[in-house]
Amino acid sequence: MKGITVDLGPQSYPIYVESNSLKLIGKLAKDHKLGRKVAIITDVNVAKYYREDVESCLQDEEFQVLGFIFPAGEQTKSLKMADYLYEKLIEANFDRNSVIISLGGGVIGDLAGFVAATFMRGITFVQIPTTLLAQTDSSVGGKVGINHRLAKNLVGAFHQPKFVLIDPQVLKTLPQREIWSGLAEIVKYALISDPEFFDFLEDTLGELVLLKNMDDVEMVIEHCCSIKANVVNQDEKESGLRRILNLGHTFGHAFETLTDYAVLRHGEAVALGMRGIAWLCKENQLLDEDEYNRIDNLLQRLRLPETVPDFNPKDVLKKIYHDKKVIDGVLNLVLLEGIGKPVIRNDIQEDTILSTLEFLRKQILVKNLSSRRLKP
C-alpha cells in the first residue's frame, strides 16, 4: 500500500490514505510486526459503526484484542480517563511489546497516544483517524496529550505512531458540523503554505463539506498530510518552523477553555482565531486589504454554531497567556504576510491583542443578533 512518509530517521512512518482501507488493518498490523496484545480505544459514536469490523480484522490475524469505548467529547481527554486506561492495561498484563490503536477523532487520538507515550515509558501506537480534522491534522506528527481544567493540551508528549491508516469513507457517517470543523484546519494549511490550494478551497468548499466528490476529499487529505509531514520532518519537537501549524490556535484554545470545551468544536474555535489573526495582520499592514477580504470571506463560510457566547476580551487575554506558545512570558504568535506566507512574531503587544479580541467580540455579537433575527 502506498503511503506518505513522515521522515524522522528510525522513527519514520507511513500514512496510508485509501478509500475502504479500514478492513486492511489486520494485514497492516501483521506486516508491521505489531505485538499480539492490542488495545483498541474508541468512543461511543465511532464504536457504533466501526469497532466490530476493526476488531474482527485484527482477530482474523490472531491478534488478542481488548476494546475500550469512551464517552464522546473533549471531557474524555483527561487524566482521569488516562488513569482508567493505565489500570486496565496493567490488569490485562500489557507489556512493552503491546500495542494501542486509536480509532476515532482527535480526542481519542490524543488520549490514546498520551497513554501509549507514557505506559511503560512508551509502547507502540497506531492511529486510525475517523474525523476530517484527525485525518488531516491531529493523527500526524506525534503530538499527544490531555487537557487540564486550567488549559487545553497542556499535559502531553511527542510520541510518533507506527503508522496512520486513513479511510476517507468513514467520513460519510460524520455529522456535518464536524466536517466544517475539519475544514477549518484545512483552510489553515492553505493559509500557511499554499496559495493554489487556497484558490482550490475557495472554489470547492461547498462541495467538500457535502463529500460530493470523494476523489477530491481523498486528494485534500493527502495534500494536508503531506504539508504536515513536511513541516514535522524539519522540526519534530516544535522548536521553530512547526509553530506555523498553530495559526489561529492561540486564540482558539483560549475560547475553547473559557467555554469549558462544550460550546465550540476545535475547528470552529480555530476558525474564529484565524479571523482575528487575519484582522490583526491587516490592521498592522502585513496583509493588504484584498488578501484580507479573501481570507475573511473564506473563513466566514466555515459555519459557526448559531449562537456563540459573548466573552470578555480581558478574560481571553488571561487565558492566552496560559498557552504553550508563551515562552518566558513572551507570546509567540503566528501571523500572515500573505496567503501561504506565515511568520512567527514575538513582539505583538497586549493592547493589539485586546483590540483584536474586541473586533472578534463585535463579529460574534452581530452574528448572534442576525441569526436571532432570521428565526421565524
Ligand X SMILES: NC(=O)c1ccc[n+]([C@@H]2O[C@H](COP(=O)([O-])OP(=O)(O)OC[C@H]3O[C@@H](n4cnc5c(N)ncnc54)[C@H](O)[C@@H]3O)[C@@H](O)[C@H]2O)c1
Q: Is residue 141 near ligand X by the rule CB under 6 A?
A: yes
Stretch of 21-29, 132-140, 273-281, 354-362 contacting ligand X, by CB under 6 A: 132-140
Closer CB to ligand X, residue 138 or residue 363? 138
Q: Is 188 in the site for ligand X (CB under 6 A)?
A: no
Q: Exposed, middle or buried, 369 (CB in 10 Å: 0-12/13-18/19+)? A: exposed
Task: Answer yes or no: 196 catalytic.
Answer: no
Candidate list 105, 161, 252, 276; residue touching ligand X; CB under 6 A: 105
Per-residue interface string for the shown chain with ligand X, residues 231-260, x marking contact by CB under 6 A: ------------------------------
Q: Which stretch binds ligand X (CB under 6 A): 4-12, 53-61, 138-146, 352-360?
A: 138-146
Residue pair 273/250 in contact by the 8 Å Cβ criterion: yes
Q: Which residues neighbour 155 within 8 Å (Cβ) at sequence distance 6 or greater?
A: 79, 114, 145, 146, 147, 148
Instruction: Kindly give, in sequence order, each residue whose CB lies less than 8 Å from that of residue 113, ignoring residues fewer than 6 positions away.
Output: 100, 102, 125, 127, 142, 143, 144, 145, 157, 159, 161
Q: Rule CB under 6 A: say whether 170 interacts with ligand X.
A: yes
Of 51, 152, 265, 266, catalytic? 266
Site membership for ligand X, residue 131 (CB under 6 A)? yes
Catalytic residue list contains 32: no
Which listed residue (54, 65, 94, 110) binds ligand X by CB under 6 A? 110
* In 168-249, beta strands by DSSP E: none
Question: Which H/E stretch holds residue 125?
Answer: strand 124-129
By CB under 6 A, the count of residues binding ligand X is 30
In the bound complex, what is the minimum distance in angstroms from residue 47's beta carbon to ligand X?
9
Whole-number Cα distances in Å, 118 to 124, 277, 355: 11, 35, 41
* Residue 153 binds ligand X, judged by CB under 6 A: yes
Angle CA 14–16–22, to nearest 5:
135
298 touches 336 (CB < 8 A): no
User: Of 4, 100, 107, 187, which lies in the binding site for ligand X, with binding defined by CB under 6 A?
Assistant: 107
Residue 165's H or E segment, with its range, is strand 163-166
- Residue 138 CA to residue 117 CA, distance in Å, equals 15
SS3 239: coil
Query: Has 246 been annotated as catalytic?
Result: yes
- Residues assigned a catalytic role: 121, 143, 185, 228, 238, 242, 246, 249, 253, 266
> Which residues bind to ligand X, rule: CB under 6 A?
43, 45-46, 49, 72-74, 77, 104-108, 110, 130-131, 133-134, 137-138, 141, 143, 153, 170, 173-174, 178, 181, 265-266
